[in-house]
Structure formats: structure tokens, C-alpha cells
């Protein structure tokens, strides 16, 4: 990520992949937003991959900007980002109110026969819609784990994924069951055991702060 002041705004150029790990960039992005007078301009031409987790991070940044009376505008983006904005209907949230043109994507590579591309696109749309529908429940379940066991956001996500895999339970179903415990329901014994095991192996904020950066990276 590269940051360049531009008048009362900050221009942020990103490259690589925007996925679950992109949430680690939010504290720095929040700082850039706070230092700006009007908001943040994003240059995402070099982002080769972007999923719902990456988009959610951008949406969180926009929410913070709106609360501060500022804006987050995507000035240019790659095909991967362009497609995700179109499929989720979130493009207009990152456009400049004073301008109507769309962010210019990079050239779209040859993706094969039209029929195959169309089928892939429909499958991707279905997956994204399911992800957007189940995200609130999953985020709530992750928050419950963070509050109950003093976990970092990344550790709580890891606990959910490991428990889902070890119990052969779909992630959103597991999240619904966890949310249900707040209302008095109980988890199946197998799920309780696997959840406890996953929590025992998860890192907590105080542990992460005590570990040198190199040790954390080696552990990953």
C-alpha cells in the first residue's frame, strides 16, 4: 500500500490481493482517513484478486468516512475489483458525487468461450449473494467468540473455520447455532468439543502483543 497526500485528500494505491487478511490494513487506512480533510481516493489497478472479505474491509472504511463526514472514492480499479463491485451492487457507494463516470478497469484478459464464462459468472454471482446474506450471522458469531474468549478477530475466524471443518458443518449453520446459544440453546456435544479445542489453540490479543513480530509470522 502506498499513500500520497493530494490536497485535502489521501490517494492510496494498493496491490496484491484483497481478502480476509486485508482487514489488517484498516488501522492504517483509518489513520490516513483521519489525516485527510475530505477523504481517501483508492487506486486499485494492481489488485489481482478481491473477494467479499476484501470488499467488506473497504465498506468498513467507507462507513468510518461517512461517520466523519468524508468520502472514500475508487478512482481506478482492476477487472477483479470491477466485477465484484458490479455483482454486489456496491459500485455507487465508492463513486464521486460530483462525477458520474465509472472507475476504469484494466484490460480484461481472454477468459475462454463465452458460454463457459457465462456459467462461471452465474456461479460466482450465486456464491457472492450467499456470502452477503450469511455475513451478518457469521460476523455476529465471530463477535460472540471474541467477547467470550478474548480472541482477536483473526483468531475468532480461525476458530469458526476449524470447528466447521472438524464437525463437517457449514460455516453459516455453525454461526447460527452459536448465535442461538445467546438465546439459551445448546451446541451438540461434538461441536462443543471441537469448539473448545479450536479456542484452546487460538491466539488472544495479550498473547499476540507479547510475541515478537517474527515469531508471529513464523507461526503463520
For residues 96 and 98, what is the distance between their CA atoms, to the nearest angstrom?
A: 5
Which mean pLDDT values do the consecutive 10-residue runs of the chain (220 residues) have?
90 90 89 92 92 88 92 93 87 78 51 52 57 68 86 85 87 85 86 91 58 38
Full-model pTM: 0.49
Given the C-alpha cell 448465535, which residue does it identify?
Answer: 179
Residue 132 pLDDT: 54
Contact 76, 104 (CB under 8 A): yes
In the prediction, which pLDDT does 133 show?
57
By CB atoms closer than 10 A (0-12, 13-18, 19+), residue 212 is exposed
Amino acid at each position: 500500500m502506498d499513500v500520497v497526500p493530494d490536497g485535502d485528500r489521501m490517494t492510496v494505491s494498493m496491490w496484491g490481493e484483497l481478502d480476509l487478511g486485508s482487514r489488517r490494513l484498516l488501522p492504517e487506512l483509518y489513520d490516513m482517513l483521519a489525516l485527510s480533510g475530505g477523504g481517501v481516493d483508492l487506486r486499485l489497478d494492481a489488485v489481482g484478486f478481491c473477494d467479499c472479505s476484501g470488499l467488506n474491509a473497504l465498506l468498513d472504511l467507507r462507513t468510518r468516512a461517512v461517520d466523519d463526514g468524508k468520502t472514500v472514492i475508487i478512482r481506478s480499479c482492476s477487472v477483479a475489483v470491477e466485477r465484484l463491485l458490479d455483482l454486489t451492487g456496491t459500485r455507487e457507494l465508492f463513486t464521486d458525487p460530483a462525477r458520474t463516470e465509472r472507475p476504469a478497469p484494466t484490460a480484461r484478459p481472454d477468459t475462454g468461450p463465452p458460454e463457459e464464462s457465462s456459467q462461471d459468472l452465474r456461479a460466482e454471482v450465486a456464491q457472492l449473494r450467499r456470502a452477503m446474506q450469511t455475513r451478518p450471522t457469521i460476523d455476529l458469531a465471530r463477535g460472540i467468540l471474541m467477547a467470550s474468549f478474548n480472541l482477536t478477530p483473526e483468531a475468532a475466524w480461525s476458530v469458526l473455520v476449524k470447528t466447521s471443518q472438524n464437525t463437517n458443518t457449514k460455516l453459516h449453520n455453525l454461526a447460527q447455532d452459536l448465535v442461538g446459544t445467546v438465546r439459551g440453546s445448546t451446541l451438540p456435544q461434538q461441536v462443543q468439543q471441537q469448539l473448545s479445542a479450536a479456542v484452546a489453540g487460538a491466539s488472544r490479543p495479550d498473547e499476540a502483543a507479547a510475541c515478537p513480530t517474527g515469531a508471529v509470522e513464523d507461526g503463520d
